A = this chain, B = another copy of it.
Amino acid sequence: MAITRNDLIPIGTLARRTGLAVSAIRYYEDRGLVTSIRTGGNQRRFLRSDIRRLSFVQIAQKLGLGLAEIERELAALPQGRTPNVLDWQRISRSLRKEIDSRIQLLTRTRNKLDECIGCGCLSLERCQLYNKDDRAAAGGSGPRYVLD
């Protein structure tokens, strides 16, 4: 079946449905995370399925993925086609791996920290935690390349 008029929603509606700001959605479109078609009066109309697409973006962000990585994940979803069960499963599984490794990293860090607490950590420099090769778990921005 063809796309009916009803499947097309304006940006404000999409914003309300996803919890995103209108400006954020425009930004995502610039970045290529969603596409829209335009009305005669140059207003954006999105597919209803973009609610799902953007919800996914938000979830992935919660996991600490950057927009670039998310873009990569979504690239496998041909634009315009409504993603199906298998599509989401594949991507979700990939996210799960991401979470798993994050949990592992944190757990390792916690164990090391416990040793430190035990020893009073007066030699932090020699401490396991203070290992530059062990690039770790969390956020921050700018030229810091956490997680390389």
A59 and B130 in contact (CB under 8 A), knowing A89-B117, A122-B85, A139-B140? Answer: yes
For chain A residues 68-123, which have a beta carbon within 8 Å of chain B? Answer: 84-86, 88-89, 92-93, 95-96, 99-100, 102-103, 106-107, 109-110, 113-114, 116-117, 120-122
Q: Is the CB of A106 within 8 A of B117?
A: no
* Smallest Cβ-Cβ distance to A59: which chain B residue: B129
> Which of B95, B107, B125, B132 contacts A113 (CB under 8 A)?
B95
* Of A61, A114, A140, most B-chain CB atoms within 10 Å: A140
**Distance, CA A61 to CA B110, complexed state (A):** 14
How many A residues, CB 8 Å from partner?
A: 51
Q: Is the CB of A61 within 8 A of B140?
A: yes
* Of A85, A93, A129, most B-chain CB atoms within 10 Å: A129
Stretch of A29-37, A38-46, A50-58 with 4 or more beta carbons under 8 angstroms from chain B: A50-58
Q: Is the CB of B52 within 8 A of A125?
A: yes
Q: Is the CB of B141 within 8 A of A52?
A: no
**Distance, CA A106 to CA B98, complexed state (A):** 10
Cβ-closest 10 pairs across A and B: A139-B139, A64-B138, A141-B141, A85-B120, A62-B136, A88-B121, A55-B124, A92-B117, A99-B110, A55-B130
